[in-house]
Amino acid sequence: MKIGIVCYPTFGGSGVMATELGMALANKGHEVHFITYNQPVRLDFISHNLHFHEVMLEEYPLFQYQPYELALSTKMVEVVKQYNLEVLHVHYAIPHAYAAYMAKKMLKEKGIKVKVVTTLHGTDITLVGSHPSYKTAAEFSINKSDEVTAVSNSLREDTLRLFSIEKDIKVVYNFIDTVKYDIADQEECMRSAVANPDEKILTHVSNFRPVKRVLDVVKVFHQVQQNIPAKLLMVGDGPERSKAEVLAKELGVYDKILFLGNSNEVAKLLCYSDVFLLPSAAESFGLAALEAMAANTAVISTNAGGLPEVNVHGETGFLSDVGDVEDMANNTLKILENDATLLGFKQRAKAHTKQFSLDKILPQYENIYQTAFS
Ligand code: GMT
């Protein structure tokens, strides 16, 4: 099929997922066109059937805010017309589903049909979309999509609770290309580059927004390293990073934490990891946790949103209430108490990712495109 993919091209989970999906579809022979304001960060190849179209914004002094939706819907119309796209798959409802609806209407005026598939990712529903400034337009554009998917049962339920939804919302879990994470046993995974042989390695990867509660990551680590020699890798960047650095200094653990910033090589960093910390206040799915599990890492997370659908309590890691730093630290120590226990958690975490593998999830999206188009 000929598919347009619209997403945020940044380090957020929705952009990562959309990019991985587009590349996988292209690998399977579909013609894929990314329509975004920058080349997606994880887009690591362009080929005859994988294209990128940049949405250009005209800066004009009159505008306090640039009208991005206008530029995006105009670009969608252009690309659909030029390449005869059959489906526009938009990731993150705001403003992508709204812009896609407008593009579809404009195309209809010219006798061109395109179907819109909207995938809800989380904050587009739970934080941003339900805000009174956006709710009416978000609800409208979700209802006007031809097909709607959510990345977990939890997000589906949140959407039905927060909005008046007339469409069926299908759950299609996020996926992972497990092969990309099979580098733990390879030579390039040199734990000695980041830790001493007796130290365990804890990792956190996120966009360091308040919802990720990165200060809890530092607090949990502070308690853990009092009992077990350990290092913490903090991967990513965002508004809470400097607060986390200040707290680490106050708690006297700054020299045991590596703040690594954003990385395109998350799989390589995760291969060092023993335990992944994700103490989020809200999380529709927790793609970062799934990536960690694929890299043989046990997960300590909260029980917020869709996290229990990914991280199985007592099997792949542990779940705690939001903010319960004590419980998260104790659970981390349980996992790290001896090598055999740690190995068991790591192996079960890795095994659990099979149900989120690319070959299971990709056909579900292909079916949805077919249904939308038929
Ligand atoms: O977590 C973020 O702030 C980024 C956000 C996004 O849309 O880019 O992530 C959301 O989508 C991811 C991919 O589906 C999910 O794995 C994350 O759980 C979800 N984040 C939240 O719900 C907070």
Mutate which of 149, 287, 299 to test ligand 1's pocket (most atoms within 8 Å of Cβ)?
287
pLDDT higher than threshold 70 for residue 349: yes
> Residue 373 C-alpha to ligand 1 middle, in angstroms?
28
What single letter denotes the amino acid at residue 371? T
Q: Give me the pLDDT at residue 44, please.
A: 78
The verdict on the CB of residue 297 being under 6 Å from ligand 1 is no
pLDDT given at position 271: 87
Burial of 290 (0-12, 13-18, 19+ CB in 10 A): buried
How sure is the predictor about 73, in pLDDT bands with cuts at 50, 70 and 90?
very high
pLDDT digits (tens, 9 = 90+) for 11-56: 788 999 999 999 999 999 999 999 999 998 888 777 889 999 999 9
pLDDT of residue 79: 98
95 lines ligand 1 (CB under 6 A): no
Is the model's pLDDT at 5 over the cut of 70? yes
Q: Which residue has the higher pLDDT, 11 or 323?
A: 323
- Any atom of ligand 1 within 6 Å of the Cβ of 11: no
- Per the prediction, the chain carries an average pLDDT of 94
Q: What is the pLDDT of residue 184?
A: 58
- Ligand 1 centroid to Cα of residue 16, in Å, is 10
Indicate the top mutation candidate among 123, 290, 309 to test ligand 1's pocket, ranked by most ligand atoms within 8 A of CB.
123
Domains in the chain, please, with CATH?
2-175+357-373 (3.40.50.2000), 178-356 (3.40.50.2000)
Q: Is the CB of 318 under 6 A from ligand 1?
A: no
Is the predicted pLDDT of residue 188 greater than 70, yes or no? no
Q: Which atom of ligand 1 is nearest to the CA of 17?
A: 13
Quote the ligand 1 centre to 296 CA distance (angstroms): 21
Q: What is the ipTM of this complex?
A: 0.95
Q: Whose CA is nearest to atom 4 of ligand 1?
A: 12
- Given this model, what pLDDT does residue 268 score? 84
Q: How far is the CA of 43 from the centre of ligand 1 (A)?
A: 18
Q: What is the pLDDT of residue 356?
A: 97
Verify whether ligand 1 is closer than 6 Å to residue 289 (CB atom). no
- Report the separation in Å between the CA atom of 7 and the middle of ligand 1, taken as the mean of its atom positions: 12
Is any atom of ligand 1 closer than 6 Å to the C-beta of 149?
Answer: no
